[in-house]
């Protein structure tokens, strides 16, 4: 069975009968790169939020299995500990908490073992060594570690920070929501290199993007087109190029007819 199985997933905005996800099916495993593309407002971010357990959405139908376990039964922190990672399209600023401290807290939360959550914090020198190595390999300036979280970060810095978190937490499946938006070409290349370096037999990624651009650097195994809360088409990397030249209009015609 694939590591992540999304089956007939429907979700509403919590407390309303406004349905955003209208039956999503998607399967992927570690080691794979999948991309979700689709026009604005199609439900891409909602899907990532629902997968992470955002309280603003309620699942009304369908299921999500992660390594055979019912993901929807888990709280957001348990999903993270199980190996699911989500980067936010619009990360919060947390003045006063440094990048290094934030990541250390996240690493320590992951290291809590067993059902009674015994602490097993990483030793500070070991952590410092790990984060320095990760920053070096991702070409992130050393000074970022001591800056406040997302406070005054440029678009490119936010995205690099996401990739740094991913490098340090080593999730099994990383969901990256519009990691490419707002990046200039150099930052895009660094983020893409980071993703390529991190994805391997033990990590897969689901890249949510509006543009083909990042997929020139990160070669997807599969591309899924999301429209109006449904995946209307799946295909290989060539689908991205097709969308780039013809836009979504042809698919809309197919779906409607
Ligand atoms: N909390 C919310 N309240 C009202 N509308 C929402 C909410 N969340 C999502 N939507 C609506 O659901 C649709 C899908 O949104 P979103 O998942 O952000 O799309 P995408 O990421 O593909 O651009 C949009 O029409 C958006 O306005
Ligand atoms: Mg979005």
Count H helices and E strands in the chain, helices first: 8, 12
Q: Given a cut of 90, is residue 25 above it in pLDDT? A: yes
Using pLDDT thresholds of 50, 70 and 90, give the confidence band for residue 157: confident
CA 106, chain centre distance (Å): 16
Atom 13 of ligand 1, nearest CA residue: 41
Separation CA 159–CA 200 (nearest Å):
20
| Sign of the dihedral defined by the CA atoms of residues 40, 46, 47, 52, in that order | positive
Lowest-confidence segment of 41-50, 164-173, 245-254 by average pLDDT: 245-254
Please report, for residues 14, 59, 93, 98, 132, the alpha-carbon distance to residue 151 in angstroms, rounded to integers and kept in the order given.
30, 33, 5, 9, 21
Output Rg (C-alpha) for the chain, integer angstroms: 18
pLDDT score at 168: 93
Does position 155 have pLDDT exceeding 80, yes or no?
A: no
Query: Which pLDDT value is given to residue 21?
Result: 98
Q: Kindly state the tokens that stand for 80.
A: 């993270």
Question: Residue 63's pLDDT band (boundaries 50, 70, 90)?
Answer: very high
Question: Which ligand sits closest to the CA of 88?
Answer: 2
Distance 90 CA to ligand 2 centre (A): 9
What pLDDT band is residue 90 in, cutting at 50, 70 and 90?
A: low
**Local structure of 198: helix, strand or coil:** helix
Domains along the chain? 4-256 (3.40.50.300)
- The top-scoring range by mean pLDDT among 19-33, 39-53, 95-109, 160-174 is 19-33
Compute, in angstroms, the gap from residue 221 CA to the centroid of ligand 2: 21
Q: Identify which of 20, 207, 232 to mutate to test ligand 1's pocket (most ligand atoms within 8 A of the CB).
A: 20
- Taking only the tens place, the pLDDT of each residue in 212-247 is 888 999 999 999 999 999 999 999 999 988 888 888
Q: Which of 9, 10, 12, 13 to mutate to test the pocket of ligand 1 (most atoms within 8 A of CB)?
A: 13
Task: Please report, rounded to a whole number, the percentage of residues in the chain having pLDDT higher than 70.
Answer: 93
Size of the chain in residues: 257
Helix (H) or strand (E) holding 33, with range, is: strand 33-37
| 230-235, strands of its sheet edge to edge | 84-87, 173-177, 204-209, 33-37, 222-227, 230-235
Q: Give the pLDDT score at 115.
A: 53
Question: What confidence category does residue 88 fall into, taking pLDDT thresholds of 50, 70 and 90?
Answer: low
- Residues within 5 Å of ion ligand 2, judged at the Cβ atom: 44-45
* pTM of this prediction exceeds 0.95: no
Q: In a 3-state reduction of DSSP, which class is residue 187? A: helix
- What percent of the chain has pLDDT above 90? 54
State which H helix or E strand residue 61 sits in: strand 57-66
Q: How far is the CA of 20 from the centre of ligand 1 (A)?
A: 7
Q: Are 38 and 44 in contact (CB under 8 A)?
A: yes
Q: Which atom of ligand 1 is nearest to the CA of 42?
A: 22
Ligand nearest to the CA of 46: 1
| Whole-number average pLDDT of the chain | 88
Q: Which residues contact ligand 1 via a Cβ below 6 A?
A: 13, 20, 38, 40-46, 56
More confident call, 143 vs 91:
143
Least confident piece of the model among 54-63, 123-132, 186-195, 219-228: 186-195
C-alpha 158/C-alpha 146 separation (Å) is 14
Closest listed ligand to the CA of 22 = 1
């Amino acid at each position: 069975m694939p590591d992540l199985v999304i089956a007939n997933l429907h979700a509403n905005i919590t407390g309303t009968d406004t349905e955003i996800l209208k039956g999503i099916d998607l399967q992927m495993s570690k080691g794979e790169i999948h991309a979700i593309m689709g026009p604005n407002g199609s439900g891409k971010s909602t899907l990532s939020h629902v997968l992470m357990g955002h309280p603003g959405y309620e699942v009304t139908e369908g299921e999500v299995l992660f390594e055979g376990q019912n993901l929807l039964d888990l709280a957001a922190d348990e999903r993270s500990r199980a190996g699911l990672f989500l980067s936010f399209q619009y990360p919060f600023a947390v003045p006063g908490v440094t990048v290094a401290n934030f990541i250390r807290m996240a690493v320590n939360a992951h290291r809590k073992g067993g059902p009674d959550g015994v602490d097993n914090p990483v030793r500070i020198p070991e952590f410092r060594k790990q984060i320095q190595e990760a920053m070096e390999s991702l070409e992130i300036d050393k000074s970022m570690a001591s800056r406040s979280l997302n406070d005054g970060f440029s678009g490119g810095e936010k995205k690099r920070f996401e990739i740094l978190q991913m490098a340090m937490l080593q999730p099994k499946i990383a969901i990256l929501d519009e990691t490419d938006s707002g990046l200039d070409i150099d930052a895009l290349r660094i983020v893409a290199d980071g993703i390529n370096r991190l994805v391997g037999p033990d990590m897969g990624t689901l890249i949510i993007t509006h543009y083909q651009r990042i997929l020139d650097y990160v070669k997807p195994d599969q591309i899924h087109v999301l429209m109006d809360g449904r995946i209307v088409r799946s295909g290989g990397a060539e689908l991205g190029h097709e969308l780039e030249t013809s836009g979504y209009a042809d698919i809309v015609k197919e779906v409607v007819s």
